[in-house]
Each structure stands twice: as C-alpha cells, then as structure tokens.
Structure 1
C-alpha cells in the first residue's frame, strides 16, 4: 500500500502516546512573574539560609564597590551589579561560601550640592545653617536614595545581605574611616602642603585625579612677548629682543614668575619682515623661537616674511632676565615690576607652542616643580570661587570660571591688557581636551592652596614592610605580585597610573563627609616636628565618640576640649575642619566591611574587586593606596574590570542624544532575566552595546533556551528514581550525551571560576540548540513518545533527561535566576525549596569517553549529509517529512561505514528506513564537498504510515491493532 493511503478506520491512538506534559508556560511573562520570585526569596530568607548551609565551606568574598546614593540606576549600574551577582551565585554553587554585602558611598559633594540647591530655592543661606543640621539633611537625603536604589538592585535579581548593607555614613564606618586616617597621622604619611591642585571654582573645593574627567573645551590661546632685559653675549645688541611664550590659560599670566626653556631644543633669532594687515607683529622686531616652531608662530602672528638671524645656544639663554608683560603697565601699581628669570626645564618640548613655557608656580604641577627647584615665589591671586583677589590691580574680582561653569571675563581682560601693553604677538582659539569636574561637569583650574596630602614616597613608620616601606612601592609590589588582573590590561593601566601619580590630596573644603580628625599646633609650620598632634589617647577618644554619635560630634562645641583633656591645652591647637576625599571613604571599606563584619574575612582581603575601567583611577586605586598606607598591601586578590555601555551604534549614551537605555524600562518590557542575559552574552571586558534591536536578539536567545527547558520538563513528566538506568546499560547515544556533560561540567566550572560568563553562556547555548534540540531531542522524541514505558531505550533517555535537567538548570541559575527558579519549582514544587539552595551536581569523571565521542562525531557528520539530501526533497515537495524517506547512503570509507552500521542510522536520521552501501555513489547521488566519499540516493519509504508513531513500514496494518507497526502493536498490547 502506498504511503499516503493510510488506514482510515484505525482508532485514534493519541492518548496512547507519551506526549510531553507540563504546566510550564511557553510565554515567560517575566515582567509580571519575577516579583513573585522576589517575594518568595524574601519569605524563605534565601540569603541567610545559604549562609547556614555553607557553614564550614571556604569563604569567597566579592567586595562591593559602593555606588553613590544619589539618583535612579542607569544601565551601567545594571551591568555592574549583574556581573557581580553572577560571580557570587556561581561561586556559591561551586561549593564556596560566597557572601555578598552590598554597600553605598553616602558622603560627598553631589549630595551636599543637592541640599544647597534646595536651600537656594527656599531662599536660605547655607552658611547660616548650623553645620550639624546641614549634615543631618545630607544624611536624610542619602538614606532615601539608599532605599530607592536597594529596591532597584533587588529587582535585577541581585542576591545579597540587603537587610544589612554597609553605608559609609554609618557611625561605625565613620569611626573606622577616621581611625584609618589617623594611622596616616601616626605613621608619618600625612602632611600639609601649599601646592597647585585641581580646583573646582563652581564647587569651591580641591578635587583628586579620580574626580576629574577630560572633555573637549574651547580655550583662548595667546602668543606673548617677554622682553629681554639683560643677558650676556648676543643680548648686548642694540635692537630689542623678545622671548615668545604660548599658553591656553591667559588668566595665569598675572601669576607668571619665570619662563622655561629646554637646553636640548634648537633655538634661533628671527627678525620679522612684512606683516599682513591687522597683525600685531611689528616689522623689524626680533623674536627668540624654537626652530621647529618658528614658521607656525609667524603664521599665527600674520607675518608674511621673516628671516633667521642666527643660532641661540643653551649657554646664551642661561642667566637671561626677562620683563613681565605687565611691567610698568598703567594702573598696575608696580604689581608686576619684577624680573622674570629664564630657566632650564626638561618638561619643555618643541611639539607645539614656541619652545618656551610661561611658568606660574601656583597654577600647574610642572610650574610648581620648577618653582621649588629655583625657589620661585608663590602667588595667591585666585580665590576659592575662581575669581581674582579683590585688590589685584586691573583684574580684581574678575572670575575665571563663573558660578554656572561658563568662562568668566578674566581671560578676555588679560588678553586686552596684553594688547594694550604691547606684549600680545598673536591670539586665537583652540578646541582641546580639558579637565572638568566629574560631578558638576564644570571646567577646573589649577590653584595653589594649602591642602592635606598623603605622601606616596615617604618611608612609613609602621613596621609593615613586607612589600616595601612607602605607599608607592607597596602598591606597585601588590599590583605585580599579589593581585591577578582580569583582563591583564588592567594591571598595565593601574601600574602606569600608580608609577607616575603625585601625592594623594586628601582634603576637601566641604561639609558633608568624615572630617580630617587631626589638630595642628598654633604658631608651628608644616614640616615642624610638633606641627601635628600625635597621641593615640586622643585618637581613641575620637574613635569612641564617632562610634557612639557619628562624625557630627566633631563639629559640636567643646569637642576639641573633650578629646584633648589631660593630653594637651586646647588653646594651643587648631582643629582641622576640612573633610576627607570621599575616595578615602570608599578606599577604607575593606576595614569596616571585610575586617570588622562577622560575614567579612579575617585578613580583611577580598577575593574580588569588580568595577568598570574608570575605577582604575577611582576605587581600585584609592583602595590600593589606602590599603598600602594602613595595612601594608592591596586589600584584594583579584581585580575584574568591565567596560562601558554604548548604544547600538557604539555611541556614548546621553540624555541629549536620546539614546539612553533605562534598566527599569527594559525590565518593564522584557523582564530582568533578559537584561541579565544581555550581560552574560556580552564580552564585558570591552565596551558593550545595547538597544532595542540587541534586546530583541537577546529575547530570541532566551526563548530558545526556555523551549529547551520546557521540553525537558514535559518529557520528564512522571519520572521517578525507579525508572533510572545505570550508564553502563544505556545505548551509545545516551552515553555520548553523558560524555558531553562531563566536558561541559569542566568548561562551565572553569568559565565561572575565571569570570568568563560569555564563554559559559555560549557553551551552554550551543549545547542546548545544536547538541540537544537539533540532534539528541530530535532523535529521541520517537522513543520518548512511542516506546513502552518500561522500554530500556526510553528509560535510558529519561534518565539522561533527568541528569540534563539538574545540570542545565543549576548551571544557568547564576545567569537566569528567575527563570531557573520557575523551572525548578515546576518540577519540584515546594514551600521552601529553591534552585539557588542547590550546588552544581558532581559529574563522574568516567562519563568521559573519547573513543565514543570520535565515533559519534563521524555519525553526526554522516547525518548532516542525509539531512541535507532530504531537505532538498522537502523543498521540492517530494516529501513532507523525513519519515517518508528510506535513503540509500553510499560510504567509501570503511571505518565510517562500520561506525554507521553499528548504530540504528535510520533512527539517527529520523527516516523510516535507510540502507548503507560500500559501493561508490552513483552520479545522481547527493553530495557535500565538506564530507567527501559519501553520497545519498533518495528513495521513498515502502509501506503504510503507522497511525501511532508515523513511521512508514511494510508491516503496518498486519497486527492485532489496526493501522500500527509491530513496535506500536506491542506497546498497545
């Protein structure tokens, strides 16, 4: 009988087939259902139960870099916290006691700024408000945002000690931060110096390098003549000569104290010839310029013709005295009537400018170092708000940077005065990278101001010299010998930063933070032995007071007398009122979290610090420096770095461009597991892209994974331990799956251990979609649906599916905590169980079977050519399904032929019949170039379609039960 003439009067056998049965829905509905799992985890106290179950295990501590308690979460927060959560969950499930204490940075300028904005809106003067009252307002503000962010982090599925996080504003934290600072007082690292630091005129405080970002800024640029007043040799000529400098900070000219040159650069005397209309250069004047830059200077000055008069040697420049451009200027009141020395400096180059560098020691680090070397006087012309001191002639009170962060009038005023004085050779504008405040986004200036520093290169008197006796040597040794870097490029980045960094500016001229808990002797000078009060009794009193009442007590009347009682006369000492750089706060977290908490670690060292690449100059570095200053080494063993999030086009996200992705919106549309899967799919060591199309692709990957898990649930309906078979009793195909699982177990554990979540996900995803869905499940559906319940082949398949279930669901749990919880409880419903309370199952090593794997690689290659041949016939409508075929497969390779004959190759290819032949394939056979020596000749299956299993076989219709094959007839019997 032909295949398409099925028996019409056969009974309906659908109820006799073991079709998958599960209530696990195809549609995930994650946005609606995820909150159910969150509530469930809260109810069963899952984090604390994990700690109980993990008692006695080796601890694994990922120390949380504190986000700032200010504003809703952005996509970078979601990326960061998800990576951390995958690390913690995976190490817990690999047999560690993986604790995670979330934390927050609570002090600092952004919060203070918000309270000031509130006061301004209310018409209140911040300076008229009691300091403690102001600080308490800041505390309340931070507290509110901690609660908001906590809920947003929990919604991402992040597990942790959410009911007891660490906050840098907790009383104990403030006490420890102060105690850590006072270790610097005692070990000699702390000093007060007056030197130029990055200063924010808008925020009226010093900033550390970690608080600075570089953005494009358009600056005025000027070329200025410094007239030669005296010198030997060539300077004795009658014609006046000027040395020319170039600067992008005209406002620093009133603070000029020297001009620097480099003896290694070639210089010349250049006479100006013809000039263009409007030029400020004058025909006949003589200028000293670096030879490599003379042409560009003349072009900027609109000089059309010039000539080189001769060389200017380094010896000619030594001892030359210049006049300040404002010397003798009308209205200057003699302010600038001093000599300006010409001094050698290695920092001068001939890459740009003129080959001479205007030097204002109060407004630049190179300038300051040159000033120290040659004892140049410091100037104090610039006030905290970025304006010139009121009594500065010509420019008094003018702002360099206005309160709104815009350029003030100072630059233009200086340029006009230079032109009036005849010193301006040329002017222009330049767009360049310029330092801005990370917080206010306003431009910064270098400003000389007394600040407190931690000395990076001073030997410390603390006896902790295993890794060096200075902060820098300890830090560099830690980087190279004590810490592993993921990726390794992180080591190079931080090493170079630490190798070249200046001393750490610790002080801020603000109110909301931990104060610099130290006292200075009145009348003493920085550097004097008795300048700082060093007494452990005082330190202990301060610590005890902070523990009891918080850092606010520092600002209460009578506190100085209270802590100095019996130690020193309070009238002899001034109490420092600056607050600590918040990076010192967060750099100290290892002490009050890792060292002091019961869920910390005895040595105060974390297994992992994990943040974005910007934290090489931020938290990674401040923790490293602080740890090296107070405990002698880095407080971490591994540093894991991730990149930034960009839009789908690779553009930086910004509200103005409208390309931001808000985590809450993604969760509302897709669910947190989709966001987490995006993280796991990405190479987080580089910058990641995210956007609507990328999220659609992620959702599609999720659906394919979900379908795999749903099939497992359905196919395992009713499975019990009594059904299990020993691997030795299983068919080869099941043994091959076990072999793959043994390989995967190694790969998954290694991937999680090395923080390679992309590798873990891709490995599991490929296994689920290629090895399982497109191969193993495809082949075994016939046995699972149609074999008898006690058939060994079906029992073997179900045993393997059970093994697969336990591994896949737990392996994926760190990445997809909500979905895997749903899957787990769909199979094992329980009031208080959770997939997250289980470890990755141990996988027997003897499941590995390389010879079997090699054989089944051959079988799978051969299957590909058969499947491709049948697809051609399906496409031309010759057949509708592969079971309608009975192909002849020609195999020239004897080993391949033997391998195929040793298995039920028709079952493997999902055909009703299949013949194997050693004869060469005929001309009409289907071939594939990548599988030589094989050909497939298509044949239709002979017989009728079994009404139960749908195979087309000659014996259908010849058994007791109508319309079925022998196998199905036996099952029905």
Structure 2
C-alpha cells in the first residue's frame, strides 16, 4: 500500500547526504593571501629541507632583471618552475629552489640615465661610485617588488635568502670566474667589429639584440677598374658595381668581394631614362642572375651582355675607391681597392659583388684577416664620424635619440658628385635594434675584450675537450637532457657557428674586468696582461669585503699590485663585464657555494623561454665550459612565448596584454596556474578573457568533484576501512585506475609533461569518477546502512581518492589543495605541501578486471543513451523509473553483466539481461555492437527514502520504504 503525498513520511534526515564546510565558491582572490601568510608562518620551505635521506633536485633559477613589474611571461616561467619543484619534492626528492635576480647591466643603468636626462643632468658628471650606488638602490627596490609579486603566484622557494648578482660574494665570484679566463689563456683583447649601440655607447651581445623592420637607404655604386683599357677585350673604362644598405660604411671600404662560383658578365648600358645616373655606353660587371634587376633599378631601358667575365680574369684586379681624388678628400681614399674572392658572396640579391669594410661587419672582418686588409677607426662611440675625417667629419650616423643622422645622405650625395652613384632607393628589411633603447645598431670596430672559444685552454680540465667550443658541443650532446628535444638542435647550431664572446662593455654598472695591462705593450705581446694569482686573490678578498665598487677607488691599483708589480707600469681596465657573464656565472656562487646547492656546481635543470638559447642557456654553457670544463646543467627545459587569444604578440600599444596581477585580482593565482597546466608550454601559449573563462570552468568542475569526496567522507574512521581484496569489483576497478594513473602521473611529472598530467587527472576526476563511479555509488553512500559492505567500501575508496587527488594536484593548485586538505584535516601545524604522493600498491593493477569493466561500461552507455531518449520525450522523469530489457549477443559480456548488479550500475530500479536477439524496435548505439535496449517501466511503488520503484515498497515496518531502506532505518 502506498502513502499519498499528504501523509508520506519524510525520511530526509535519515539519508546520509554529503556534509562539508568546503564552499562551492572558491573566493581565491580574497583567500589565497591567507594561505600565503600561513605557509610563511609555518616555514614550509625550510621544513621540507629537514626531511632526511632524500636525493637533492636543484632547479636553478634564471635571474630576471630587477627593473619592472611582472608580465605574463614571468608568471608562466615561475609557475612552470614551481610545478617542477613541488612535484619533485612530493615524489620523494629534496627539491631546492633559490630564486635570483640579475641586478647589473644596461637595463638598470639605462633607467638611472633616464632619470638624469629628465633632470637635464649629465651622467658623466656624477662620481662613478655614487652612480653605481644609485643603480644598486634601484635594483634592490625592484627586487622587493618582484619578490612579493612572485610569492603571490604561490611559488615556493628560499624567498628570504635569494641570490642577487650584485651581492658582494656574487661580485667576488664573478670576478674570480673572469680571472680564470685570464689565467687559462682564453682572455684576449682584439679590435674587431661588434654590434654597437651609438645611443647607449656600448657593445652589445647577440642576446641583447632584437630585430625590427627598418627602412634603410640602398645604393648601387661603381668601383672603377684601374687601368681598365684592354681588360676583358675593351678599350673603355669598366666598373664593378656593388650594392649596400649602409651607405655610411663606404668611406671605410677596403675591398670588393666576388664569388668564383658565380657566373658574371660584362654588360653595356644602352638607352637610359631621362633622370637616370647610368650612362649610355658605360660598361659594368655584374652577376648574370642579378643584371636585369640592377639595370631596372638604374632606370636602364635596354642593355646588352658583351661577354663572360671569369673568376680567373678577376684575380688580381685592382679597383679605385669611389672617393679617390675627390675634392676635399685630402688623399684619404687614394688607395687601391683589391677585388678578392669570398665564399660569403651570393647572387640572391644585390649585384654579385660585396663592398667590404672590415671594421663594420663580421664577413668583412674575416675577409680582412684572410687578406691582411687594414682596419679603419672612422666611427666614434656615439655613432658619429671622427672629427678629422675629410668631408664627413663629425657627422652622425645615428642621433643620440636613435634617429637617422646626416651621414647616409651626405655619403650618397658625395657619391653622386663623384660620379660613382649608379642608382639609389630605399628598402624595408629586418634590422638589429637594442632591446633596451629600441634604437638601431651598427657594426663598429673597437678594441674589446674577448673569450677565445677555439683556443686550447691551459687548465687541466680536458675531459670533454680542450676548447670552450668543443666542451660546450660535447656537453650538449652527451651531458644534457633537452625538453623539448628541439632545444638541443637550436643551441648546438648557435654554439657551432658563433664567434668569440665579447666580454667587455663600456658602461658603469657591473662587475669590472679585473685585469691590468702593461703600458707600452701590444695585445699580442706575452707580457701584455698581468697574470699573477696573488693579485687575483687580493681582488677577490677586496670584493668579498667591499663589493665591486672598490675597483673604482683611487688607490685600488696600488694596493692590489703592491709587492708584485710596479703600479706605474700597468693600466687598470675600466670596462665592465657583459651582464650575461654575470648570470652565466651563477652556477658558481649559487649552486657551488651555497649550503643548499651542490658542491659540483651542477644543477639538475635550467628552465627558461626559447629566447634563452641565445641568452642564459648559451652564456652559462660558454662560461662553465671555460671555467669548469662542462655545462653547469644536466637538463634544459624551454617554453614558448605568451600571445593574446588571436595569436598576436602582446603589446601595450595594442591593448592586448594580460597582466598577472589582473588575473589574480579577478580569478586568483590558482586559475592562472591552471591555465599554465592546461597549455602546451613547448609552443607559444595564448591567453585572454575567453580562455581564462574556460579555465575557470574546468576549475569549477574539478572543485565540485573534490567537494563530493569531502562531503561523503564526513565522519569516516579507520574502523570503516575495507581491505581491497574484500571490496566489490567496482571499487577494485577504481583502485586499478588509480594504479594506472599513479604510474602515468609520476612519469609525466618526471618528463615535465604538466599538460598530460593535468588532463589525465582531470579526465579521471570528471569522467571516471563524477560521471560514472560517483553517479553509481551515490545511492549506496546516501541510502545504505552505515555498516553495509558497499557503503564502507565506497567510503574507503573515497579516502584513498582524497589522499591521491589532493596531493597529485597540489603542485598545480597549491591554494585549492591546501583548502581541501585543511577542510578535512584542520591543523595549525599541517599542510598538504608537507606530504608526498602516497605509494600506490602495484597489486591494485588488475588488467583482466579492467577488460571486464570496459565491456560493462560500454553496455552501460547503450542503456543510459536509451533512457536519455525516454527522458527527453517525457516518458520518464528519471532513470529510476525504468527497468529496461538489455539484449546482449556477446556471451562473455553477458556473463560479466550478470556477475554484477547491472541495474545499480545503470541507476535503474530494475533491469533484465537476455541473450535473445534484440527486436527491431530496440535501441542501439552504433559504436556498441551486439547490444539492444528495450525500454520497460519499473513496476511497484516509489520508495520515499531512496526513490527506487520496487514491488516490495510499502510492505515493511517503515512506511513507504523498500527492504534495503527499511533495514537501514532499523
């Protein structure tokens, strides 16, 4: 007999609904700072260091510049590092992370100079030590700001004791590392063209250069063949034509290069346009592949090819400089210009001949070395011609603001006046710029200090080679694990082809090149450099005590050389080291020298963006190869750049930037971290409002899963625990999946595959658990008696799930997992981050059971799909109103279904299984072969407690209940 709605008994209080204070809404922006304070009070990082017997894992931090607020690229980088250190720690290692900052160099010095310029002050009028102290204070201020911004992201590390390249010990070690080059023979002074910033008045490293579109003048210039009568079968003058996009380098020309493998011809100019500078009848030598293009640029209407000009015919040809004999030239350019063979010449563009100025280009310089061409010193540090250069003296190539000066136009006009200009134009092309001032750069010949990367070193560290280059290349191939592997190829190619390392900078803020040169000697003289370990040790000791500023004190040279050498016989070098040498040396003063480092100075991992193949990865490899004989890292991981949602580069001017602080303010740091985990960091990553909304949705789904686990573990005690062997098959299947995931997750974390790790756990949580296991076991958890085997097994599995899901996800979502952990285990002295990933027994793996349940789940999909149709057409309101008949052709699958309570698994009140052929009206899923479902309504009354429709409802002591619920109530 059934109860009516009016007199039905209310059993709501007897159902074990989930109980938890864990909120649906995370409130991360407001609550995350509380956890940060908590972790700081607990000293989580230092407590983890006290765990004994663990293998160290050192992720060495690539130092950001201390000169501005964090951008999204910083956040990506630091979050990836945090994923690694947290996961390595929770897998049983001692994962150490010491954050650091790059504090020297142009980025900071430039900021101080900007302040001076705003006040109309001249930096050169300020005492250098006072200026350096201003730089130090500026850097320290930004270190404090960035430290708090990094900590807000949930990054765990030794924040109270970071490394700074401007700390006295760091400066002493950087100097000591430099002096190793002095002693092992790698250091030399050379005069060669280097990338030079006229605005910043210093040499730049390749890593400090970025390329932007730039519009340059382009000119075609005649170099007359001297005594050309009779050469190549003609009595008329002949000109070799060059093409260049740097007219300002023409006054420095010392040769013209050709390639013996290119086909050349002698061409006679025919009709020309009215305003052309080409002349009818003149004879020009050009590469055949480029002749037509040159004639078009020169406005030549028609021309003829007179004859071949062979490579052998060009040997020994001498040209005249286009300014030879020019009025006002004072004989400056009255020298012979040889025509020389060069492999760098191509017929892809230009004329097939290359104007060669050895002081202003590397190819030019190499050709100059080969043929002993003289160097020129016509260009000053500010990018202007030397004052006494005839005609062009004092004219600027670039202005102090980085704009084009008058030099290019003046040279072009003078070429036209001299009759050497064949044609002119403009070209838009990719051109090097300073990454700080954003101004164009030039190649300029200056005396600089270099590390010779192909010179045999005298240091007794030849296990991986005798030169910096061979040690670096051997390290890349044999000693380093690359993530992704493409990073290996990129860095190998760079090291294989790079020139010597320019170590010197003509700046003030940095570690000085701590060496002395003997007056009256040349760089190639044996006694040019003072090499004495006693002096080196004094310098190191002085820097340890007073920092590198002491180098600039008036009596420093005398103190250092006293009793060793005559101070008056030596000059003190006042250049500062390339800042990349600073950061390249961090392996020595961070990994080697700190108590939380490693005596061998070798890190397990360096992790930065792909641009650091030419930056920190590169400089660290070169520096360590020079001073310790090998790479300072065992592994290198690179990540891509951050783009907006459309795949565009972020730019403040475009308004498409995403600031970490803004994301944290709206969503919380865990959402930003989850965006990183969901992305493929090996490629460029997109971020924006819509992407973050999707990330937040994934977070909510995951949070709901964890809330279900917490709610259904309310009051769980060890007395309830069930041994795996005594669990129903469904619970044993969950344990099998946990064993699979544990293996996959540890392998993924070790491979730094965070996207794969998160997707595996997320799919398990939302598909295997929420949509399958939880859905099935809700009935037992809510309605079974507390001591029922199904409920106890389910709660035992939920406890097992809790410890794994919360720790597995803690490296990715540290704030949320701390919240989950403390919701169950509130404690002033505990944290999820003090625990390791639980050990998962290997015998939980059960492949035969997994295969059986694969068949059960496939069949269940067919049943739930059939019931969904009936729910949609309003035949039923819920699956418990059904008792379908399921036709199964496969005998093995049918046997498996009969061995379990398939009605419970399908969440129906009843279910019949049969091997009979399915009738034509049966529902079928195309991808579940051999299964047909015929809908039948459940017979009986609805249990007022569990809502199942069963024939026995109403026949028990408790009104309106089924036998199971009646027993539970009793």
TM-score, normalising length: structure 2: 0.99
User: Pick from 569, 573, 581: which aligns with 1:572?
Assistant: 569
1:230 Cα offset (Å): 3.0
2:845 is matched with: 848
1:126 Cα offset (Å): 1.2
2:324 is matched with: 327
The 10-residue stretch of structure 1 (953-962 or 170-179) with the greater mean CA deviation from structure 2: 953-962
User: Pick from 766, 770, 778: which aligns with 1:769?
Assistant: 766
Structure 1 SS opposite 2:924: strand
2:297 is matched with: 300
1:471 is matched with: 468
2:17 is matched with: 19
User: Pick from 474, 477, 482: which aligns with 1:480?
Assistant: 477
1:864 is matched with: 861
Find the aligned partners of 2:835 and 2:272 in 1 and give their Cα distance: 84
How many equivalent pairs are there? 970
1:518 is matched with: 515
Structure 1 SS opposite 2:430: strand
Find the aligned partners of 1:650 and 1:6 in 2 and give their Cα distance: 62
Find the aligned partners of 1:477 and 1:132 in 2 and give their Cα distance: 42
Trace 1:235-634 onto structure 2 (pairs within 5 A).
235=232, 237-634=234-631
Find the aligned partners of 1:956 and 1:373 in 2 and give their Cα distance: 102
1:14 Cα offset (Å): 0.4
Structure 2 SS opposite 1:926: coil
Give yes or no for contact 1:6–1:944 (8 Å, CA) kept in 2: no
1:739 is matched with: 736
Give yes or no for contact 2:228–2:238 (8 Å, CA) kept in 1: no
Find the aligned partners of 2:111 and 2:751 in 1 and give their Cα distance: 41
Find the aligned partners of 1:441 and 1:686 in 2 and give their Cα distance: 26
Matched, 1:44 2:36: no
Find the aligned partners of 1:879 and 1:275 in 2 and give their Cα distance: 91
1:880 is matched with: 877
1:229 is matched with: 226
2:31 is matched with: 33
Structure 2 SS opposite 1:935: strand
Find the aligned partners of 1:408 and 1:752 in 2 and give their Cα distance: 55
Give yes or no for contact 1:705–1:765 (8 Å, CA) kept in 2: yes
2:191 is matched with: 194
1:7 Cα offset (Å): 5.3
CA deviations over 1:445-502 (Å, ceiling 9, x no partner): 0000000000000000000000000000000000000001001100000000000000
1:233 Cα offset (Å): 5.8
Trace 1:91-130 onto structure 2 (pairs within 5 A).
91-130=88-127
Find the aligned partners of 2:879 and 2:416 in 1 and give their Cα distance: 90
1:434 Cα offset (Å): 0.9
Structure 2 SS opposite 1:391: coil
Give yes or no for contact 1:67–1:105 (8 Å, CA) kept in 2: yes
Matched, 1:642 2:632: no
1:830 is matched with: 827
1:235 Cα offset (Å): 4.7
Find the aligned partners of 1:45 and 1:211 in 2 and give their Cα distance: 38
Give yes or no for contact 1:297–1:353 (8 Å, CA) kept in 2: yes
Give yes or no for contact 1:271–1:309 (8 Å, CA) kept in 2: yes
1:964 is matched with: 961
1:700 is matched with: 697
CA deviations over 1:606-664 (Å, ceiling 9, x no partner): 00000000000000010000000000000000000100001111111111111111000
TM-score, normalising length: structure 1: 0.99
Give yes or no for contact 1:324–1:338 (8 Å, CA) kept in 2: yes
2:812 is matched with: 815
Structure 2 SS opposite 1:61: strand
Q: Which runs of 5+ in 1 are unaligned?
A: none
Give yes or no for contact 2:129–2:552 (8 Å, CA) kept in 1: yes
Give yes or no for contact 2:885–2:933 (8 Å, CA) kept in 1: yes
* RMSD of equivalent CA atoms: 1.0
Structure 1 SS opposite 2:565: coil
1:932 Cα offset (Å): 1.3
User: Pick from 669, 673, 676: which aligns with 1:676?
Assistant: 673
2:896 is matched with: 899
Structure 1 SS opposite 2:530: coil
Find the aligned partners of 1:720 and 1:882 in 2 and give their Cα distance: 33
Give yes or no for contact 1:611–1:642 (8 Å, CA) kept in 2: yes
2:711 is matched with: 714
Structure 1 SS opposite 2:150: helix
CA deviations over 1:372-418 (Å, ceiling 9, x no partner): 11111111110001111111122111111111112111111111111
Find the aligned partners of 1:131 and 1:235 in 2 and give their Cα distance: 62
Matched, 1:209 2:206: yes
Find the aligned partners of 1:322 and 1:236 in 2 and give their Cα distance: 17
Structure 2 SS opposite 1:719: coil
Give yes or no for contact 1:105–1:167 (8 Å, CA) kept in 2: yes
Structure 1 SS opposite 2:395: coil
Find the aligned partners of 2:407 and 2:496 in 1 and give their Cα distance: 36
1:960 Cα offset (Å): 0.8
1:140 Cα offset (Å): 0.2
The 10-residue stretch of structure 1 (961-970 or 396-405) with the greater mean CA deviation from structure 2: 396-405
Closer/same/farther in 2, CA of residues 653 and 707 from structure 1, 3 Å limit: same
Give yes or no for contact 1:231–1:320 (8 Å, CA) kept in 2: no
Give yes or no for contact 1:231–1:321 (8 Å, CA) kept in 2: no
CA deviations over 1:856-914 (Å, ceiling 9, x no partner): 00000000000000000111111111001110000011111101000100000000000
1:234 Cα offset (Å): 2.5
Structure 2 SS opposite 1:270: strand
1:122 Cα offset (Å): 2.4
1:6 Cα offset (Å): 5.5
1:525 Cα offset (Å): 0.3
Find the aligned partners of 2:404 and 2:944 in 1 and give their Cα distance: 85
Find the aligned partners of 1:712 and 1:566 in 2 and give their Cα distance: 77
Find the aligned partners of 1:961 and 1:230 in 2 and give their Cα distance: 123
1:236 Cα offset (Å): 6.6
Find the aligned partners of 1:364 and 1:117 in 2 and give their Cα distance: 30
Find the aligned partners of 2:662 and 2:582 in 1 and give their Cα distance: 33
User: Pick from 61, 71, 92: which aligns with 2:58?
Assistant: 61
Structure 2 SS opposite 1:606: coil
1:121 Cα offset (Å): 2.0
1:436 Cα offset (Å): 1.0
The 10-residue stretch of structure 1 (207-216 or 963-972) with the greater mean CA deviation from structure 2: 207-216
Structure 2 SS opposite 1:229: coil
Structure 2 SS opposite 1:243: strand
Structure 2 SS opposite 1:307: strand
Find the aligned partners of 2:557 and 2:931 in 1 and give their Cα distance: 93
Structure 2 SS opposite 1:624: helix
Structure 2 SS opposite 1:292: coil
The 10-residue stretch of structure 1 (386-395 or 543-552) with the greater mean CA deviation from structure 2: 386-395
Q: Which runs of 5+ in 2 are unaligned?
A: none
Find the aligned partners of 1:397 and 1:446 in 2 and give their Cα distance: 18
Find the aligned partners of 2:956 and 2:794 in 1 and give their Cα distance: 27
